[in-house]
A = this chain, B = another copy of it.
Amino acid sequence: MMVDFNRIIEHFRTTPIPDNMLQRGQLVLNEFLKPIRILFEQKAVPQQGWTDQQIAFLLETLSQMDTDKDQNASRVGEREARIASDLQLKVSGGFCHGVGRSGFLTAPQPKAPGGSIMYEITNYLARHTLKTFGLPNVKKAIVVPICTGMSLSLCLSALKPDWNSEEGSKKRTVLLPQVDHNSLLKALDFLGLNVKVVKGKVFEDAVRVPMEDIKNALDDSCFAVVSVTSFFPPREADDIKEISKFAKEKDLVHIIVNAYGVQSPEWMKLIQAGIDAGRVDAIIQSTDKNFLTPVGGAMIASPKKEIIEKISRTYAGRASASPVVNFLISMLRLGLKGYEGLIQEQQENHKLLAQKLLDFAEKVDERILDIFNPVAVVMTLDNLEKDQLYALGGALYNLRVTGPRVYDPTQKKFGTCTDNYPYSYIVMNAAIGCSQKDIITAVERLEKAYQQVTE
């Protein structure tokens, strides 16, 4: 009845445009549209990435289903997704109504059928992505327009005991293997939780939190344990499998902060082992750190559907669609092949970084620390004085190296995840999306900065 895009050509049969030409046009158009059809049918990340034009076309089509686009509507609500400028259509991906309904993120929004479909698809893609890249048992995932830290608050809030009950009111403690990261600590503090930090200990070069210590820290007030995979060296990933078994045994909520861990099959394996062996309630990952989106979103996944349902009922209102749209764009643009390619490139870059830093370390009589981390490489800086270490950070900033961490444990413990880390060091990351050139120039500039501060 309406525009049938595979029959546009019918309307031009009687014009001077010859039939075989019209058919060619239809064919080219259909190839453009085909991935959209397949996406609707399969609700899965495409094998091959789409073009920006295809993605824009999908977003335009879906957003034109929302009632704020309805020229014949009579709008007498207090919230009708009215906008002051067409620029805002871009900044919201066209989805002016945002996502969610009355504090239920994944609930369809009656004023936004297109936005609801968009969010539905995006969450399918989130699950598909995790299933494909290491977590086959994930049952449901959602993309939330809040950061990793706030996602941790959201998960714990959703899964907390009933504090208004007699019994629940005593369960306010969370076990945390030491993670020196402000956002995570703030996330726990957001809910006013009592945090029992289990201290990190030095094992040769690495910092780990012994399972025994975690077990010993348990008391009756605990209702949850939070574990991490990806983190800055010298802290290594937690023993997710053992923590999961422990959580199962002790009936603890177990949230895994997998901040930028999706990029590494090795970190993902740890999580899958945890799911297989014990209890994992939710796994949280950053969309920008793993999936090349602008900052602002996270993905929460679980091996249990009902847990995600619970979590999605906990956000207290309706939320911005932008971070959701940005994840959708990333996965459509990359496709499975593209993401595989990025992972492979990350692994090569990691090797390259390790080699380059090793070469430099040998020159200046330092060494590469032996710490398990598929993204970062750490080199000691023990030959530098306190002042030089400080100056090195500044020199790198001026040389436009972004992201390295120069650390002097005698000046500041926070960040080492332990009380007595013995080495000064610099960390660099070969994270997903990083280029060879980034790594090569970063190490070159490190050499230059090192010379500057040691001259």
Encode contact with B along A401-418: 1 for CB under 8 Å, 0 otherwise. Answer: 111100000000000000
Decide yes or no: A103 and B149 within 8 Å by CB, A84-B292, A114-B25, A192-B191 being known contacts. Answer: yes
Residues on B with C-beta less than 8 A from A110 are 21, 24, 397
Residue A389, interface by CB 8 Å: no
Residues on B with C-beta less than 8 A from A216 are none
Residue A304, interface by CB 8 Å: no
Residues on B with C-beta less than 8 A from A329 are 84-85, 87-88, 91
In the bound complex, how far is the Cα of B401 from the Cα of A289, in angstroms?
Answer: 42
Residues on B with C-beta less than 8 A from A20 are 397
Encode contact with B along A350-383: 1 for CB under 8 Å, 0 otherwise. Answer: 0001000000000000000000000110000000
Contact A95 B294 (CB under 8 A): yes
How many residues on chain A are close to B (CB under 8 Å)? 161
In the bound complex, how far is the Cα of B329 from the Cα of A83, in angstroms?
Answer: 10
Contact B157 A400 (CB under 8 A): no
Residue A92, interface by CB 8 Å: yes
Contact B428 A148 (CB under 8 A): no
Residue A278, interface by CB 8 Å: no
In the bound complex, how far is the Cα of B58 from the Cα of A72, in angstroms?
Answer: 21
The residue of chain B having its C-beta at the shortest distance from the C-beta of A36 within the complex is B3
Residues on B with C-beta less than 8 A from A200 are none
Residue A322, interface by CB 8 Å: yes
Among A130-138, A203-211, A269-277, A430-438, the stretch that binds chain B is A430-438
Decide yes or no: A22 and B113 within 8 Å by CB, A28-B65, A322-B91 being known contacts. Answer: yes
Residue from the set A15, A439, A445 with the largest chain B CB neighbour count within 10 Å: A15
Residues on B with C-beta less than 8 A from A84 are 291-293, 329-330, 333-334, 338
Decide yes or no: A28 and B64 within 8 Å by CB, A18-B108, A113-B22 being known contacts. Answer: yes
The residue of chain B having its C-beta at the shortest distance from the C-beta of A154 within the complex is B190
Residues on B with C-beta less than 8 A from A61 are 5, 8, 29
Residue A246, interface by CB 8 Å: no
Contact B1 A6 (CB under 8 A): yes
In the bound complex, how far is the Cα of B172 from the Cα of A172, in angstroms?
Answer: 13
In the bound complex, how far is the Cα of B68 from the Cα of A51, in angstroms?
Answer: 14
